[in-house]
Amino acid sequence: MKKIIAIACFTVFLMSCKKDHTCECSTGGTVISTTTITDTKANAKKSCDLNDASLFGIVVSCELK
């Protein structure tokens, strides 16, 4: 039982660690910018998604890599 609790705690710890994630923004299949976000994966995805934009019919889509 103690091993299961220890493994569960370790897994939660790893999931909540801040790591470097790459946010790649592109338009029309061409990469226009990349940025590094140091945060948890969930927060990095939210930050990256905030960079999505559309202006004068040009769509910029940002994805976490």
Q: How sure is the predictor about 17, in pLDDT bands with cuts at 50, 70 and 90? A: confident
Task: With a cut of 60, say whether residue 62 has pLDDT above it.
Answer: yes
Task: With a cut of 90, say whether residue 36 has pLDDT above it.
Answer: yes
What are the domain boundaries of the chain? Answer: 18-64
What's the one-letter identity of residue 44?
Answer: A
pTM of structure: 0.68
